[in-house]
Amino acid sequence: MLPLIVVPSLIGIMLGSWVGVPILARTKPAIIRYIVIILLLFAGLRAFLKGLGI
Amino acid sequence: MGNQQKFLRKATLILVLLVAFALWIWVMGGTALGEVNPGGQASSLPWWAWVLILFVLTFVLGIVAVLGGVGGGVLFVPIVSGFFPFHLDFVRCAGLLVALSGALSAGPGLLRAGMADLRLALPTALIASTASIIGALMGLALPTYIIQISLGVTILGIVAIMILAKKSEYPEVREMDGLAQMLGIHGIYTDISTREEVHWKVHRTPLSLGHQQISPVHHRHQRRLDLH
């Protein structure tokens, strides 16, 4: 089952990163910081709640 | 190479990748692998629907991973394991492969641009890679829910540090320590958004190297070149 998860993930991440590079060039570091904080907060809460079975 | 040529080359590569991906789905449908539904036997969606949903999600993750510089692994594992009915073992294994391929593809470009530095990365990578063997063994022995809680707490801890840290966009380092001077850990890069040259150096090197501790959660998910 691993290829069914790995193959779409790798292609998706690769294409996404190609699209992300030109956006990165136009974005200021302060805005990127806020984006990272929001994303990590979301991912961290999701993992924590899943671990607690919520 | 002109801009138009670069664009055409990239567009061709994207097209080839998408065609290869479509062919892969078509071929997989006729094999034993296609009969395994990643969503489980009770899933109402066919196996290829999970593959396509995952592709769209990881595409968005790829964009934000570049913006945030957090790599595929840190976001991939908590988000995919939180929203998809896949077993954590498969997700964390896929997360490692995503992080590895992300680091390999982004590494050369970042090194050329001066955004990543081998002198900075090598000591931390050496310690982290060595300690990660013990961390991985500990992680495999722990129950899944402990791993997920620990992952959540670790990521939330990083968020707290990021919120509390002042001047994190351009950290202010007054004086380098002896070890950093000996190893020559300093450099210059051009910030592509502001077009300004940024001179960077590090301090508290022995303390930060000591912090590459044996963490079962961290070492299972993330190996990347650190920017700061």
**Three-state DSSP class for A28?**
coil
B139 in contact with A, Cβ within 8 Å: no
Q: What is the pLDDT of residues A5-53, one digit of tens each?
A: 888 888 888 888 888 877 877 777 778 778 888 888 988 898 888 888 8
Q: What is the pLDDT of residues B172-213, one digit of tens each?
A: 777 777 777 787 777 777 776 677 777 777 777 777 776 654
- Between B180 and B50, the more confident residue is B50
3-state secondary structure B72-101: HHHHHHHHHHHHCCCCHHHHHHHHHHHHHH
Taking CB atoms and an 8 Å limit, are A4 and B55 in contact across chains? no
Q: What is the pTM of this model?
A: 0.72
Q: Averaged over B208-222, what is the pLDDT? A: 49
**Three-state DSSP class for B162?**
helix
Name the residue among B58, B68, B93 with its Cβ closest to that of A36: B68
Taking CB atoms and an 8 Å limit, are A21 and B79 in contact across chains? no
Nearest CA in chain A to B154: A44
A29 in contact with B, Cβ within 8 Å: yes
Distance from CA of B41 to the nearest CA of A (A): 13
Name the residue among B59, B151, B159 with its Cβ closest to that of A41: B159
**Three-state DSSP class for B190?**
strand
Taking CB atoms and an 8 Å limit, are B146 and A51 in contact across chains? yes
Contact B190, B198 (CB under 8 A): yes
